[in-house]
């Protein structure tokens, strides 16, 4: 049996941070694993500093990113350490499910029809307002500013409109004015940028996995080589944007304006492009397999050497489009 001299203080601190009792935490069966993960990721000194509450926010052994305590809260609630699930079991044992009184989807059956029952907030309230707010923040994805993004980086972006190579994960930036911002190679995974003004912003090779960019203004923005898988780009404005080689697997682009956008070599497999405006866009060598292009405007689009296997094109307007085989489309709208 491994000796864990710091397990007791680790649990005590965890109880304070999460708003759950030590008994609750032990009940998850994850205490020892999480202790070991924290020890491994923070190092012995890092863990001791955390237990002694010496670590000021944002100054862990990792230079940028959330503080150790923020990471620990996230670990208990979601089973994630820096967006990686530490153990399959950690998913179903996340405190998140208890806090919102539901069962982890796909993991513990909740019982037929129970989804129709109203949740009782009593138990949650008993754990105190702090933990409730935390849960709300996690659910809505905006409180994650304190959870993830480096506060220093976020502040820098807001002050100088520039932050390259920064940790802006889950940053709350909805409806922000980031016109022409320089944010290349930054991590904006899970960030909320919905409705933001990002015209001419430079976001080269940035990570925007699962980011919320709904209705964002990204006209002329440079997103070449960026990771946008699972991002929500519905109704966004991407006219003349550069998305060359960008990865947009399963991204939601319904109703987005991508006219004249450069999407060469973009990976759009499974992307949702229903009703999107792709007029005059450049899609050479793009992978559109299984993408939903129904009712999309593809007039004058250049689809040479693009992969369209399994793509839905019903109702799409292909007038004057250059097809994968290099020929002009016959102008007929594919039937549904």
Element (H, E) at 153: helix 151-160
- Is the CB of 2 or the CB of 159 nearer to other proteins? 159
- Residue 237 lies near other proteins (rule: CB under 8 A): yes
* Contact in structure between 251 and 213 (CB atoms under 8 Å): no
Judged by CB under 8 A, which of 184, 189, 207, 227 binds other proteins? 184
- Residues in 188-207 at the binding interface with other proteins, rule: CB under 8 A: 197, 199-202
- Residue 160 lies near other proteins (rule: CB under 8 A): yes
- Residue 172 lies near other proteins (rule: CB under 8 A): yes
- Look up tokens 């519905």; give the residue: 234
- Is the CB of 68 or the CB of 188 nearer to other proteins? 188
Judged by CB under 8 A, which of 38, 217, 253, 266 binds other proteins? 217
Judged by CB under 8 A, which of 59, 83, 164, 289 binds other proteins? 164
CA distance 91 to 184: 32
Least gap, CB of 161 to other proteins (angstroms): 4
CA distance 303 to 288: 10
Stretch touching other proteins by CB under 8 A, among 57-65, 112-120, 215-223, 246-254: 215-223
> Any residues with CB less than 8 A from the CB of 2 and at least 6 apart, and which?
36
Stretch touching other proteins by CB under 8 A, among 32-40, 61-69, 92-100, 236-244: 236-244
Listed in sequence order, the DSSP H helices in the chain are 7-18, 22-27, 31-51, 68-78, 88-93, 95-99, 122-126, 129-140, 144-147, 151-160
CB count within 10 Å of CB 52 equals 10
- The alpha carbon of residue 100 and the mean position of all alpha carbons in its chain are separated, in whole angstroms, by 21
Residues contacting other proteins: total by CB under 8 A: 47
Going through the chain in order, the beta strands assigned E by DSSP cover 80-81, 84-85
- Residue 301 lies near other proteins (rule: CB under 8 A): yes
Element (H, E) at 146: helix 144-147
Q: Which stretches of the chain bind other proteins, using CB under 8 A?
A: 142, 158-162, 164, 172-177, 179-182, 184, 197, 199-202, 217, 219-222, 224, 237, 239-240, 242, 257, 259-260, 264, 277, 279-280, 282, 284, 299-302, 320
């Amino acid at each position: 049996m491994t000796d864990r001299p710091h397990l007791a203080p680790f649990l005590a601190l965890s109880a304070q941070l999460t708003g759950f009792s030590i008994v609750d935490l032990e009940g998850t069966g994850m205490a020892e694993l999480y202790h070991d993960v924290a020890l491994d990721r923070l190092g012995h000194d890092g863990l001791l500093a955390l237990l002694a509450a010496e670590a000021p926010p944002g100054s862990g052994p990792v230079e940028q990113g959330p503080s150790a305590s923020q990471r620990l809260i996230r670990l208990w609630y979601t089973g994630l350490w820096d967006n990686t699930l530490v153990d399959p079991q950690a998913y179903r044992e996340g405190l998140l499910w208890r806090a919102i009184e539901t069962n982890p989807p796909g993991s513990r059956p909740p019982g037929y029809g129970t989804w129709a029952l109203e949740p009782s907030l009593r138990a949650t309230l008993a754990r105190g307002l702090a933990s409730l707010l935390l849960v709300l923040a996690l659910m809505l994805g905006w409180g994650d500013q304190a959870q993830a993004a480096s506060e220093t980086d976020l502040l820098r972006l807001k002050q100088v409109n520039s932050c390259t190579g920064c940790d802006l994960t889950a940053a709350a930036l909805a409806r922000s004015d980031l016109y022409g911002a320089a944010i290349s190679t930054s991590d904006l995974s899970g960030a909320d940028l919905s409705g933001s003004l990002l015209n001419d912003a430079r976001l080269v090779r940035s990570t925007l996995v699962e980011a919320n960019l709904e209705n964002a203004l990204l006209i002329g923005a440079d997103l070449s080589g960026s990771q946008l898988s699972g991002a929500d780009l519905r109704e966004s404005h991407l006219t003349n944007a550069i998305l060359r080689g960008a990865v947009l697997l399963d991204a939601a682009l319904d109703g987005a304006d991508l006219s004249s956008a450069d999407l060469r070599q973009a990976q759009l497999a499974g992307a949702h492009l229903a009703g999107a405006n792709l007029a005059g866009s450049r899609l050479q060598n793009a992978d559109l397999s299984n993408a939903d292009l129904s009712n999309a405007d593809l007039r004058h689009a250049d689809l040479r050497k693009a992969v369209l296997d399994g793509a839905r094109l019903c109702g799409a307007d292909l007038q004057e489009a250059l097809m994968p085989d290099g020929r002009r489309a016959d102008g007929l709208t594919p039937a549904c």
